[in-house]
Amino acid sequence: MNEKQLAAKKEFSNQLQKFAKTLPRMLQSDGAWKVRGFIDIDCNAYTISSDTKIVSKVLELCIFPLIMKFATSIGYRIELAKKQNYYPDLTFVNLTDPSIMFAVDLKTTYRLPDNPEVCNGFTLGSHGAYFTNRNSTKNIQHPYAEYSGHFCLGIIYTRHESQLEETLMYHLDQLDQIPAVASDFLVFAQEKWKIASDKGGSGNTANIGSIKNIPDIIEGRGVFTDYGEDYFDGYWMNYGHMQIPDSNGNPRPLKSFKEYLEYRNLYEGNGEAEER
Cα–chain center distance at 53: 15
Residue environment code for 228-247, b if the CB has 16+ CB neighbours within 10 A, otherwise e: ebebbbbbbbbbeebebeee
Can you give the pLDDT at residue 275?
53
pLDDT band at 203 (very low <50, low <70, confident <90, very high): low
260 falls within a domain: no
Q: What is the pLDDT of residues 12-30, one digit of tens each?
A: 999 999 999 999 999 999 9
**Domain carrying residue 20:** 3-221
Share of the chain above pLDDT 90, in %: 74
Cα 133 to Cα 136: distance, rounded to the nearest angstrom: 5
Cα 129 to Cα 112: distance, rounded to the nearest angstrom: 33
Q: Which amino acid is at 200?
A: G
Mean pLDDT of the chain: 91
Highest mean pLDDT among 58-62, 168-172, 259-263: 58-62
Cross-strand partners of 158: 183
Can you give the pLDDT at residue 273?
43
| Residues annotated as part of the active site | 89, 105, 107
CATH number, domain of 210, equals 3.40.600.10
pLDDT band at 272 (very low <50, low <70, confident <90, very high): very low
121 falls within a domain: yes
Q: What is the per-residue DSSP string for 234-268?
A: HHHHHTTT-EEE-TTS-EEE---HHHHHHHHHHHH
Count structural domains, the chain: 1
Cα 145 to Cα 131: distance, rounded to the nearest angstrom: 9
193 falls within a domain: yes
- 250 Cβ partners below 8 Å, 6+ apart? none
Can you give the pLDDT at residue 74?
98
Q: What is the pLDDT of residues 141-196, one digit of tens each?
A: 999 999 999 999 999 999 987 655 678 899 999 988 998 999 999 999 999 999 99
266 falls within a domain: no
200 falls within a domain: yes
9 falls within a domain: yes
Can you give the pLDDT at residue 234?
94
Can you give the pLDDT at residue 270?
45
